[in-house]
Amino acid sequence: MSAPEAIEKLQPPATLSASLAASGIAELLTGLDRELIGLAPVKSRIRDIAALLLVDKLRAARGFSAGTPSLHMSFTGNPGTGKTTVAMRMAAILHKLGYVRKGHLVAVTRDDLVGQYIGHTAPKTKEVLKKAMGGVLFIDEAYYLYRPENERDYGQEAIEILLQVMENNREDLVVILAGYKDRMDRFYESNPGMSSRIAHHIDFPDYNVDELLRISDLMLESMQYRFDERSRMVFADYLERRMAQPHFANARSVRNALDRARLRHASRLLRSSDVVTDDSALTTITPADLLASRVFTRAQREE
């Protein structure tokens, strides 16, 4: 039985939580809590949207008025805060509730939509939209579509096509625009037609050190590595130093740091002929694998 059919079969006095469970949305939301550390305001907003859509379905199933909701969204925040992951989960939720046919996510940037010469942009944009129909189109760094300083830029053509499809195909496509908050705010100010079509604005906060440590534990676990007690303290120190530097990208920077630590870990084992390569040695990141980072060595040189 499909989720919409399950919803339709619910009769009063079924509770909203029971309807949520029957639709399969509760499982998706639980998975979101499990997969994503922190982001409490984001998760709360996603739950609110899911509840609204579920109530709309229940109302329609019982003969109450329920129009087609506007589901286009804006995700703002710094890199590595989970915007793409949440977009994927949002696509699954919309599919479970019957708001999109397929529930797939198509993630693109300006280069996928905008051509470099006359007559190139429309076919590119329309091809992307064709792939996204029945699901969710996620446009990262969407503000790069609009470059008013360049009179020969074709981004405006892509925006006009997107606006038309967002309005005329609301029942078969959800568009999520993403990027830095300040740049997205300027983008909407310059493109009021786009702003008026966005129903849900969700801001993704940066992670704190404790949350990033938990994220690093999950990443290492997925790769079958681990910190020992001392290396975890060193990594906490690394995070505090790295967060104070430019271009920090939250979970993305954590993954990059762990990848480099794994490289140093492998090199250390290869250089040390007396190290026994048992399970512990093969899976444990030590302080030495972290302290070789430029974040620490640069600070030592400056001192």
Tell me the CATH number of domain 209-302, given options 1.10.8.60, 3.40.50.2300, 3.40.50.720, 3.40.50.80: 1.10.8.60
Ranges of CATH 1.10.8.60 domains, the chain:
209-302
List of long-range contacts for 116-123, beta carbons under 8 Å, 24+ apart: 116/154, 118/154, 120/154, 121/154, 121/155, 121/157, 121/158, 121/161, 122/157, 122/161
Q: Does the pLDDT at position 32 exceed 60?
A: yes
In degrees rounded to 5, what are phi and psi of residue 27? -65, -40
Dihedral sign for Cα atoms in the order 65, 50, 52, 171: negative
Where do the H-state alpha helices sit in the chain?
Answer: 3-9, 16-23, 25-35, 40-61, 83-96, 110-113, 121-132, 155-168, 181-190, 192-197, 209-222, 229-243, 251-271, 279-283, 287-291, 294-302
Q: Does the pLDDT at position 1 exceed 50?
A: no
Q: For Cα atoms 257, 91, 175, give the angle at the middle one, nearest 5 degrees.
A: 95
The residues, ordered by sequence, that sit 6+ positions from 13 with a Cβ below 8 Å of its Cβ are: none
Ranges of CATH 3.40.50.300 domains, the chain:
3-204
Look up the CATH architecture of domain 3-204.
3-Layer(aba) Sandwich (3.40)
pLDDT at 15: 73
pLDDT at 19: 73
The residue-averaged pLDDT of 181-196 equals: 94
Q: Does the pLDDT at position 8 exceed 80?
A: no
Burial 253-287 (b: 16+ CB within 10 A, else e): bbbebbeebeebbeeeeeeeeeeeeeeeeeebbbb
pLDDT at 147: 86
Distances (CA, A) of 242 to 48, 287, 293, 295: 34, 16, 10, 7
pLDDT at 22: 73
Q: Does the pLDDT at position 303 exceed 70?
A: no
- Report yes or no: 56 and 129 within 8 Å, Cβ to Cβ: no
Rounded Cα distance between 28 and 176, Å, is: 19
pLDDT at 2: 54
Better-scored residue on pLDDT, 273 or 59: 59
Q: Nearest Cα to 143, choosing from 175, 105, 190? A: 190
The residue-averaged pLDDT of 196-222 equals: 96
Better-scored residue on pLDDT, 198 or 66: 198
